[in-house]
Chains A and B, each alone.
Chain A
């Protein structure tokens, strides 16, 4: 462990903070002492991997994710709530690349390819502006498809080599259909009763992150402009993390990302520690944007 590269000083306190939510069986909770959460475990694993830190902890975390996998390949919130299968995409990304968990990864990918939301034909008199017929992914079984779980599934499948798969292509189409007229995304409605709804930074960032390399730049240009304008105002780890990840993957300049991330981390001293998923997402974004790369 001592030979592994260490994160820069500004993040030195953040990674151990992440590990405080680690459990004896290798999984992670959202907060120290909390219940096991597959989403927290997946993001913590991806964070450790992004900094190339503590590979033995990542392996244990993958083992915990794999232990929670259901016979259908899904990795839900818990066995008590199998319908809440939305953590599967993040778990698939965390399992990817590990020979020991290749079979678990393949089953998770198979689950994503086989799963969609409730969809219905577009109706002329619908109060909704989007096309509800385009398949994406839902948060929860037997509900409509929404932006964030669709973005996560697209990314997990793309990383697994399925970018040309019809499900990924329809997911891309769905996200573009859900893009707001002036740019950005929210949870997944564009207009309702003729009124355009508001964009949200986290949803916009994650949608852009998933579409990088899959959509043409001019199709998302207003959204890129929007999130680039919003970036300096973002203070919370989830919105800042997703905004940075989205912009980074579209190779858009993120300005002084290091200062934004540092400020965001320091705010914990006033308002309390961030949950595992949020902290991990911010640190992953830091790593990927170059702001947190030990070699930068």
Chain B
């Protein structure tokens, strides 16, 4: 997302993170303590699939990934699922800005095969108030119509607040769209992209899109003013999303998340742990996930990012490795070089 530069420097989150560790979570109470204990116990599995083209049977590829990751029909049957693609804005010739509609279709098919009772697609684009234009011009509107799937504009939904239990950003509460309270699973359907403020935007950063524009504005400037990286961690810790699928069939390199160039990376990356999925994506892109501020903090409180704590299923990283170009004149990317 392209807005103002984030309000806090990358060093402030590290300082706060250290303070958290030193304090053992006592200063912010049970929530962070609990998360730290959970994260310490957790190992994660991530599935990598080769997918050279959007015309492949993506539903079957995603179904295989769900199976490999132990997502069973028993677990999904009867559940209401929200698929949250990354839809930012539309620009002719820049389809690689957004999650491809055929990846959304593939996820729809896969969760339907597992017996989901209802699947919704929802997004609150950060750059445009005309959400309908985005879903129409990306081609998603037709996919949803043909598959009788309801779209929820999360920017204009009813609202409910949750306390900011991790408290890394300066917000005391986080306000979510009511739809998130009505679903059993939230699936982040992200895009594999570099980002000029955060370094990368993957399944965790994609959840900025659930934060309603009616309370966070267009762009979601509140989240930047209160700390970009901190907000990513806070939102993920509060929301506890259930699954991630990253569309890396065509990714974006360079000056992402809007102005970068397309890159054919030919992968779909999936998992239950969003930090582990994002760390794996980084390794595929040739980026050290430990250098991404929000991933480093997420490793301690949400899910693992270290290679030894992630069991890779499907293709090995080496077989899909595609080095993404980074810009040395963009500070958030220069530190990744």
Contact = CB atoms under 8 A, between A and B. Distances in A.
B221 A202 contact: no
A239 interface: yes
B127 A186 contact: yes
Contact of A187 (B127, B145, B225): B127
Given A235-B136, A239-B130, A35 B158 contact: yes
B5 A127 contact: yes
Contacts of B127: 186-187, 200
Contact of B156 (A237, A270, A275): A275
A192 B130 contact: no
A236 B131 CA distance: 9
A51 interface: no
B196 interface: yes
Contacts of B175: 81
Interface string B239-250: 000000000000
Contacts of A197: 2, 258-259
Interface stretch (A105-113, A135-143, A154-162): A135-143
Interface in A106-130: 118, 126-128
Contact of B4 (A144, A194, A202, A271): A144
Overall SS of chain B's interface: loop
Interface in B1-27: 2-5
A270 B129 CA distance: 21
Contacts of A34: 158
Interface in A217-240: 234-239
B225 A143 contact: yes
Interface string A185-208: 011110011110110111100000
Given A138-B217, A140-B215, A193-B330, A202 B259 contact: no
A201 B136 contact: no
A200 B130 contact: yes
B5 A128 contact: yes
Nearest to A277: B156
Contacts of A214: none
Given A143-B221, A186-B127, A192 B196 contact: yes
A140 B2 contact: no
B258 A198 contact: yes
Contacts of B136: 235-236
Overall SS of chain A's interface: loop
A86 B222 CA distance: 14
Given A193-B330, A202-B129, A238-B133, A81 B196 contact: no
A146 interface: yes
B290 interface: no
Given A118-B225, A142-B225, A187 B91 contact: no
Interface in B78-119: 89, 91, 94
Contacts of A275: 153, 156
Given A81-B215, A140-B221, A187-B127, A193 B133 contact: no
B214 A77 contact: yes
B91 A198 contact: yes
B320 interface: no
B225 A139 contact: no
11 contacts: A81-B175, A127-B196, A132-B4, A139-B221, A142-B222, A144-B3, A146-B218, A198-B94, A200-B130, A238-B132, A239-B130
Interface of A: 30, 34-35, 77, 80-81, 83-84, 86, 118, 126-128, 132, 138-140, 142-144, 146, 148, 186-189, 192-195, 197-198, 200-203, 234-239, 270-271, 274-275, 278
Considering the complex of A and B, which 10 residue pairs feature the smallest CB-CB distances, nearest first?
A: A139-B217, A143-B221, A238-B130, A195-B259, A236-B132, A198-B91, A236-B133, A140-B217, A202-B130, A35-B158
